[in-house]
C-alpha cells in the first residue's frame, strides 16, 4: 500500500510499504477514506525527529471503512464506517475505567515513561504505524473505533479522531462560568473549535488571538471576537483591559511548544535537532525546553482565581514557570492528552443532525490526494495559501 513516511527533518515521502494485517484478536483493518494533517504532526516535521526513524508511517486523524476484524472484535463488522481516535485504549483497565483513556495501562509506553500509545507518533508513544496511508491496522478495535452513520460527508465526522474532542476537553477543563469570558490563544484547527465550542457551551464572550490573517477571518466568520497579536505590544495587558481590568475567566493555550516569539526556546530546540538522535533524546528528556511565550501570556492574562487550559502539545522537561505569580493569583492549570472516547458520545449528536452547530464543514481549507502529502506538510508548516486544515484522500 501507499503511505506517508518520515525520512528526516522536513522530509516526508509517500512510499510503498507492506499492507497491514491482523496481528492480535482485538485488531481491525480499516481502509482509509480521509485522513488529516494535525498541527502536532508539524512537531514531527521539526523538533521531534530524534524519536522517529526513516520509514515510520505518520498520521493520527483517520477514518474509513472496516475491512477485517479479529476474533475478539464483536462490535464491528466489515463494511462499518468508523473514525479512529488518535490514542489507543483498551476501555477496561484501571485508567480506562475512570475514563482516563489517554493513560490506558494496557497500551502505556512504560519504557519511555509515557501514557497510552498513539498512532503515527514517535517511539515515545509506541512507534505504531499511522493513518496517512491507504490502510490502517487498529489495535484495541473492540473499544477504540467510533461507529458513525453510513451517509454524510467524511468531514462531518473526521475531526472526532482528535481535534474536535481535544478542543471539547480543553473547553471543559477551562470551566468558563456561564456568561463568562474565554480567551483562546492560537486559532489553528484546535483553537478554532475551542472558540466555537466555548460559545456553544455557554461562554458569554469568546476572544481569539492569532497573527495569521486567514485564521483571524475564519474565527470572525463564526462570531468570535479576535485580536491580532502582531498589532499588540502587551498581549496580556490588552486582554486584561478588554475584560473589566481583571482579565478573562479562563484562557486556553491552543499553540504549544513551537510558539512564535520565543527566541531562546527556538534556539534550544534547534540546537537539540543538530545533535545525533541519541544525544538529542537525552538532551530533550533531561533538559528540554519549550517556546513558552504563549503559555506565559496566558498565565499573565487570566484573572485571579481563573483557569488556564492547555491543549497545545508541550515536550520540555526544564521549562521555567512563574510559580510565585501563579500561586499568589490562585491560577488553576489543567492539561493533558485528550481522552477521546470520554467526549465522543456528547459530540456525536451535534454532527449527525441537519444543522452544523460547531461548523465542522467550515474548517478544511485544502483537500488533496495522499500523493501530495509532502507538499501539504510544507504548505501547512509555512502557513502558505491560507492553509488552516488539510484533509488527505488516499
Model pLDDT for residues 57-103, shown as the tens digit of each residue: 999 999 999 999 999 999 999 999 999 999 999 999 999 999 999 99
| Comparison of pLDDT for 319 and 68, the residue scoring more | 68
Q: Which helix (H) or strand (E) holds 64?
A: strand 62-69
Q: Which helix (H) or strand (E) holds 366?
A: strand 366-369
Residue 323 burial (10 A CB sphere; 0-12, 13-18, 19+): exposed
40-44, 197-201, 216-220, 229-233: segment of lowest average pLDDT: 40-44
Separation of alpha carbons 90 and 101, rounded Å: 8
Q: List, for residues 114-168, the tens digit of each pLDDT value.
A: 999 999 999 999 999 999 999 999 999 999 999 999 999 999 999 999 999 999 9
With a cut of 80, say whether residue 264 has pLDDT above it. Answer: no
DSSP string, 228-263: EGGG-S-HHHHHHHHTTTT--SEEEE---TB-TT-H
What grid cell was written down for 162?
482528535
Q: How confident is the model at residue 291 (pLDDT cuts 50, 70, 90)?
A: confident
In the prediction, which pLDDT does 286 show? Answer: 45
Q: What is the mean pLDDT of the chain?
A: 92
Q: How confident is the model at residue 313 (pLDDT cuts 50, 70, 90)?
A: confident
Q: How confident is the model at residue 268 (pLDDT cuts 50, 70, 90)?
A: very low
Separation of alpha carbons 290 and 306, rounded Å: 23
Mean pLDDT of 179-203: 97
To the nearest whole percent, how much of the chain has pLDDT over 70? 92
Q: List, for residues 325-336, the tens digit of each pLDDT value.
A: 999 999 999 999
- 66 in Cβ contact with 82 (< 8 Å): yes
What grid cell was written down for 356?
452544523
With a cut of 90, say whether residue 41 has pLDDT above it. Answer: yes
Separation of alpha carbons 324 and 139, rounded Å: 44
Query: Dmax of the chain from CA atoms?
Result: 61
Mean pLDDT of 347-366: 95
In the prediction, which pLDDT does 210 show? Answer: 97
- 35 in Cβ contact with 65 (< 8 Å): no
Q: Which helix (H) or strand (E) holds 198?
A: helix 189-200
Q: Which residues contact 118 (CB under 8 A, 6 or more apart)?
A: 60, 86, 87, 88, 125, 126, 128, 337
Beta strands in 128-169 (DSSP E): 135-138, 146-147
Q: How confident is the model at residue 369 (pLDDT cuts 50, 70, 90)?
A: very high
Q: Which residues contact 114 (CB under 8 A, 6 or more apart)?
A: 108, 124, 125
End-to-end Cα separation, the chain, in angstroms: 10
Pairing of strands 181-185, 250-253: parallel
In the prediction, which pLDDT does 281 show? Answer: 52
Q: Which residues contact 327 (CB under 8 A, 6 or more apart)?
A: none
Separation of alpha carbons 203 and 39, rounded Å: 25
Cα-Cα-Cα-Cα dihedral sign, residues 177, 180, 185, 187 = positive
Q: How confident is the model at residue 319 (pLDDT cuts 50, 70, 90)?
A: confident
Helix (H, G, I), strand (E, B) or coil at 328: helix
Q: List, for residues 221-231, the tens digit of each pLDDT value.
A: 999 999 999 99
| Comparison of pLDDT for 320 and 201, the residue scoring more | 201
With a cut of 70, say whether residue 290 has pLDDT above it. Answer: no
With a cut of 80, say whether residue 52 has pLDDT above it. Answer: yes
With a cut of 60, say whether residue 348 has pLDDT above it. Answer: yes
Query: Which residue shows C-alpha cell 502582531?
Result: 230
Q: List, for residues 245-261, the tens digit of each pLDDT value.
A: 999 999 999 998 764 44
With a cut of 80, say whether residue 287 has pLDDT above it. Answer: no
Question: From the CA atom positions of the chain, what is the Rg in Å?
Answer: 20
What grid cell was written down for 137?
491496522
Amino acid at each position: 500500500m501507499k503511505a506517508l513516511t518520515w525520512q528526516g527533518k522536513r522530509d516526508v515521502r509517500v512510499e510503498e510499504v507492506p499492507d497491514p494485517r491482523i496481528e492480535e484478536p482485538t485488531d481491525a483493518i480499516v481502509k482509509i477514506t480521509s485522513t488529516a494533517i494535525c498541527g502536532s504532526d508539524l512537531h514531527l516535521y521539526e523538533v521531534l525527529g530524534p524519536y522517529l526513524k526513516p520509514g515510520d508511517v505518520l498520521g493520527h486523524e483517520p477514518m474509513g471503512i472496516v475491512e477485517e476484524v479479529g476474533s475478539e472484535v464483536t462490535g464491528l463488522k466489515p463494511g462499518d464506517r468508523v473514525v479512529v481516535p488518535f490514542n489507543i485504549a483498551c476501555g477496561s483497565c484501571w485508567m480506562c475505567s475512570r475514563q482516563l483513556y489517554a493513560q490506558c495501562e494496557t497500551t502505556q509506553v512504560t519504557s519511555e515513561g509515557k501514557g497510552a500509545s498513539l498512532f503515527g507518533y514517535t517511539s515515545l508513544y509506541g512507534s505504531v504505524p499511522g493513518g496517512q496511508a491507504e490502510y490502517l491496522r487498529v489495535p484495541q478495535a473492540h473499544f477504540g473505533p467510533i461507529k458513525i452513520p453510513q451517509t454524510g460527508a467524511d468531514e462531518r465526522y473526521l475531526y472526532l479522531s482528535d481535534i474536535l474532542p481535544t478542543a471539547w476537553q480543553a473547553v471543559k477543563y477551562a470551566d468558563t462560568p456561564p456568561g463568562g469570558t474565554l480567551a483562546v490563544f492560537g486559532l489553528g484547527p484546535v483553537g478554532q473549535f475551542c472558540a466555537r465550542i466555548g460559545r456553544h457551551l455557554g461562554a458569554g464572550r469568546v476572544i481569539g488571538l492569532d497573527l495569521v490573517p486567514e485564521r483571524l477571518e475564519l474565527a470572525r466568520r463564526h462570531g468570535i471576537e479576535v485580536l491580532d497579536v502582531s498589532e499588540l505590544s502587551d498581549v496580556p495587558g490588552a486582554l486584561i483591559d478588554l475584560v473589566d481590568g481583571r482579565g478573562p475567566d479562563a484562557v486556553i493555550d491552543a499553540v504549544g511548544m513551537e510558539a512564535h516569539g520565543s527566541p531562546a526556546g527556538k534556539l534550544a530546540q534547534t540546537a537539540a535537532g543538530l545533535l545525533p538522535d541519541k544525544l538529542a533524546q537525552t538532551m530533550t528528556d533531561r533538559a528540554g525546553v519549550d517556546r513558552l511565550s504563549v503559555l506565559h501570556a496566558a498565565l499573565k492574562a487570566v484573572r485571579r482565581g481563573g483557569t488556564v487550559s492547555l491543549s497545545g502539545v508541550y515536550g520540555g522537561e526544564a521549562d521555567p514557570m512563574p510559580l510565585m505569580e501563579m500561586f499568589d493569583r490562585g491560577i488553576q492549570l489543567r492539561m493533558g492528552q485528550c481522552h477521546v472516547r470520554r467526549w465522543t458520545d456528547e459530540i456525536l449528536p451535534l454532527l449527525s443532525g441537519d444543522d452544523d452547530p460547531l461548523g465542522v464543514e467550515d474548517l478544511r481549507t485544502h483537500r488533496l490526494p495522499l500523493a501530495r502529502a509532502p507538499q501539504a506538510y510544507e504548505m501547512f508548516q509555512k502557513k502558505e495559501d491560507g492553509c488552516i486544515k488539510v484533509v488527505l484522500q488516499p
